[in-house]
C-alpha cells in the first residue's frame, strides 16, 4: 500500500488505502457477529478465528514485513479497531487485539531473529496464540510490584510465580512475560518470551467474568520453569520501560475501540427507537430521547477528536504522547459508561436480554475503565504530568 501523509487539518483523514483495510475488517467482523451470543455463552470462541484474522493480515498491520506483517502506521490500526466492533463481541475483539497490539509489538522491537521466526511470525499468521503476562494478584497497573521471579542459572532463567487476569491465558502458545530478575522496584524487571509447553507451567483456572465472556481470562502458575536466556527481550532489568511504552498502545487502542463502540451503540439505538412505538409514536420522537441522543453524539465526536489527536501525536512522537493518550482513555472510558446505559434504557425489557447486542455491550463496556489501567490510575498519571 502506498504511504500517505495524514493531516489533522483534514476532516476526513483516511485515504483509499485506509478504507481498503477498513472494508476488509468490516466484512470479517460482520461475518462473526451472528456467533456473538453463542460464543459468549460458551465462554470462548474457536481458535480458527485467529487463523482467519492472520490470513487477512489483521494480526500484523503494524509489524515488519520481514515477519509477515504489513508494515503500516498506527492510522491503519485505528481502522482495524474501529471496524472490529461490528462483531458485537468485545471479548473476541480484545483477544485479537492482545495478539496484534499488546503481546507481540515488544517482540517485533526487541526480539532476536530466532525469537521473531519461532514466535512472532506464527502469531502474525494466526498459527500461534499469544498472551501478555504482566498483571499479578498483588499488582495490575503497578508494574513495579511484580513478584514473579526469574533466576539466572547458566544459559537459562528459572521462573517461579503467578500471573492473573491474563487474556488468551488458557490456550496461549506463548506469553510475553514480565519477570523480576533484579532488586525490588521498577529497575529489576525483565521481559521474556515464555513457551507454554515448558515443564512446570500450569493454568490455574479460567476466570468467570461479567462481560467480555468469549475471551478466556486465566490465572497462570510457574513452578521452576526453565526458559533460555536467549528468549529475553532487550536488556536484563530494563523491562519496566518497555512495558510502560507498550501500555501506551494498549490504552490508545482501548480509547479508539470505545469511541467506535459508543457510536455503533447509539446508531443501533436510533434505528431501534425509530421502529419501537410507545403511546402511539416512535420513542425517538419524544424530546427526552432526541436530546439524550444528540448530546451523546456530540460527546462521542469530542472523544473521537481527542483520540485522533492522541493518535496523531503517537505516530509523530511516540515517546511524548502519554498525556494525550491518558486523557483519551480516561474520557472515552468514562463517557462509554453513560452512553451505553442510556442506549440500553431505550430498549426497555429487551435491552436486559442477552440476545440483544446492547445488553452484552453494556456489561462489556465496564472493562474500559479497568483494563490497561483504571480511570483512577489515568487521573494519577495526569496529576503527575500536570505537576499537581
H and E: helices and strands count for the chain: 13, 10
Helix %, strand %, coil % for the chain, to 5? Answer: 55, 15, 30
Please tell me which residue in 82, 83, 219, 250 is annotated as part of the active site: 250
Task: Provide φ and ψ at 363, rounded to 5°.
Answer: -70, -35
Cα–Cα nearest to 213, from 351, 33, 45: 45
d(CA 21, CA 46): 23
For residue 185, give the 3-state DSSP assignment.
Answer: coil
189-195 and 232-233: which strand pairing? Answer: antiparallel
d(CA 43, CA 175): 21
Between the two ends of the chain, the Cα-to-Cα distance in Å is 45
Instruction: Establish whether 3 is a catalytic residue.
Output: no
Q: Say which residue the cell 442510556 belongs to.
A: 342
d(CA 181, CA 147): 10
State the DSSP string of 101-154.
HTSSHHHHHH--HHHIIIIIHHHHHTSS-EEEE--BTTBSS-GGG---EEEEET
d(CA 143, CA 186): 7
Contact indicator for 133, 177 with CB cutoff of 8 Å: yes
Q: Residues for the chain: how many in total?
A: 388
Tell me 207's DSSP state. P
Task: Read off the C-alpha cell for 223.
Answer: 513452578
d(CA 232, CA 243): 14
Residues tagged active-site: 250
Amino acid at each position: 500500500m502506498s504511504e500517505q501523509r495524514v493531516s489533522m487539518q483534514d476532516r476526513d483523514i483516511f485515504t483509499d488505502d485506509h478504507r481498503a483495510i477498513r472494508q476488509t475488517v468490516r466484512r470479517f467482523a460482520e461475518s462473526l457477529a451472528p456467533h456473538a451470543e453463542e460464543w459468549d455463552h460458551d465462554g470462548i470462541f474457536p481458535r480458527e478465528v485467529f487463523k482467519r484474522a492472520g490470513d487477512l493480515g489483521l494480526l500484523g498491520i503494524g509489524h515488519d514485513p520481514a515477519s509477515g506483517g504489513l508494515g503500516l502506521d498506527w492510522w491503519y490500526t485505528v481502522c482495524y479497531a474501529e471496524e472490529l466492533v461490528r462483531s458485537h463481541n468485545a471479548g473476541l475483539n480484545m483477544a485479537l487485539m492482545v495478539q496484534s497490539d499488546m503481546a507481540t509489538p515488544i517482540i517485533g522491537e526487541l526480539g532476536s531473529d530466532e525469537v521473531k521466526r519461532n514466535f512472532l511470525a506464527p502469531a502474525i499468521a494466526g498459527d500461534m496464540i499469544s498472551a501478555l503476562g504482566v498483571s499479578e494478584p498483588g499488582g495490575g497497573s503497578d508494574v513495579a510490584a511484580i513478584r514473579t521471579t526469574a533466576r539466572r542459572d547458566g544459559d537459562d532463567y528459572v521462573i517461579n510465580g503467578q500471573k492473573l487476569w491474563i487474556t488468551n491465558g488458557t490456550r496461549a502458545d506463548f506469553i510475553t512475560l514480565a519477570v523480576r530478575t533484579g532488586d525490588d522496584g521498577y529497575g529489576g524487571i525483565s521481559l521474556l518470551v515464555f513457551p507454554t509447553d515448558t515443564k512446570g507451567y500450569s493454568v490455574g483456572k479460567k476466570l468467570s467474568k461479567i462481560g467480555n465472556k468469549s475471551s478466556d481470562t486465566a490465572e497462570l502458575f510457574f513452578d521452576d520453569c526453565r526458559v533460555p536466556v536467549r528468549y529475553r527481550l532487550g536488556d536484563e532489568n530494563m523491562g519496566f520501560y518497555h512495558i510502560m511504552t507498550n501500555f501506551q498502545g494498549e490504552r490508545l487502542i482501548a480509547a479508539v475501540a470505545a469511541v467506535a463502540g459508543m457510536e455503533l451503540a447509539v446508531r443501533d439505538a436510533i434505528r431501534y427507537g425509530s421502529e419501537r412505538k410507545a403511546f402511539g409514536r416512535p420513542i425517538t420522537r419524544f424530546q427526552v430521547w432526541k436530546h439524550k441522543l444528540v448530546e451523546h453524539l456530540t460527546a462521542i465526536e469530542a472523544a473521537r477528536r481527542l483520540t485522533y489527536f492522541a493518535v496523531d501525536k503517537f505516530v509523530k512522537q511516540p515517546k511524548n504522547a502519554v498525556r494525550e493518550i491518558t486523557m483519551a482513555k480516561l474520557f472515552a472510558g468514562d463517557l462509554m459508561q453513560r452512553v451505553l446505559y442510556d442506549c440500553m434504557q431505550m430498549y426497555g425489557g429487551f435491552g436486559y436480554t442477552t440476545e440483544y447486542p446492547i445488553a452484552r455491550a453494556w456489561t462489556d463496556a465496564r472493562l474500559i475503565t479497568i483494563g490497561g489501567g483504571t480511570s483512577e490510575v489515568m487521573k494519577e498519571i495526569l496529576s503527575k504530568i500536570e505537576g499537581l
